Amino acid sequence: MPPSPETMGLQIPDLPGKAVLVTGSSTGIGAAVARGFGAQGARVAIHGHSHLEAAEEVATSIREAGGTAFVLTGDVRGADACAALVAEAHRVLGGLDVLVNNAGGVVERRPVREIDDAFYDAVLDLNARSVFACSRAALPFMEATGGAIIATTSLAARSGGGGRSVLYAASKAFVSTFTRGLAREVARHGIRVNAVAPGVIGKPNIAATTSQSRQDKAIQMTPMRRVGTVEECVGAYLYLASGNLSGFVTGQVIEVNGGLQMP
């Protein structure tokens, strides 16, 4: 496995002490990102909903390494819950410098003709509404001092998604476009808004939504001939959170896909 920023001991000077909320950080990319910020000396709010035990494990690993972490709960599919989550993160962390809108997922693969209104709402609420509502709630806390908002979008936002995941792809396209639009709107407040677009990443639950044959096909199409790891996504988030490294970067989507799709 390639080294991650935390295993390399890489230190970014302006991240220690930063107050960071990572939504959907009990497992997968979110958990790796939370650990990455913890290793940088940031104060991290871990968010979980369905996997609270895993969220506690992430927080414990950060604390055992000498960092500061809190576990927060909430169903980010609802706007009120998003507002409450962001407010609680601001309270426990004593501020909010970085918001990582990572919560999201395919939910289930369905062809469009089999998508009812309830499923449409479930996918859009999880992937789109959560990013909008959490970002909206964070702005009042960041407008006075500046900050960074980073969303997790997807390669699917540009490719249209794999089989039977068009609604997921469309919801992630919203995230990418919302990122660019919000970046224009809040730049004058010193708030930078960017996104990370992972490709095929070997997350713990990948088999739940992506068959092995589909993974194998993606590997064949990827110039690097493998899937990525969650740890290989972390550096992009740390870079975008650091004003020292990316102070003139806003409205951008960083692709982390092994060359599977290029501009």
User: Packing angle between helix 117-124 and helix 166-186, nearest 10 degrees?
Assistant: 40
Q: Where are the beta strands (DSSP E) in 49-174?
A: 68-73, 98-101, 147-152
Is 120 assigned a catalytic role? Answer: no
Order of strands, sheet of 19-22, starting from the edge strand that comes earlier in the sequence: 68-73, 43-48, 19-22, 98-101, 147-152, 191-198, 253-256
Strand partners, 192: 148
Q: Round to the nearest angstrom and report the end-to-end CA distance of the chain.
A: 27
Choice among 120, 168, 237, 239 that is catalytic: 168
In whole angstroms, what is the distance from residue 48 CA to residue 26 CA? 5
In whole angstroms, what is the distance from residue 49 CA to residue 23 CA? 10
- The answer to whether 172 and 156 have CB atoms below 8 angstroms apart is yes
Pairing of strands 68-73, 98-101: unpaired
Q: Which amino acid is residue 191, in one-letter code?
A: I
* DSSP collapsed to 3 states, 102-122: CCCCCCCCCCHHHCCHHHHHH
Which of the residues are catalytic? 168
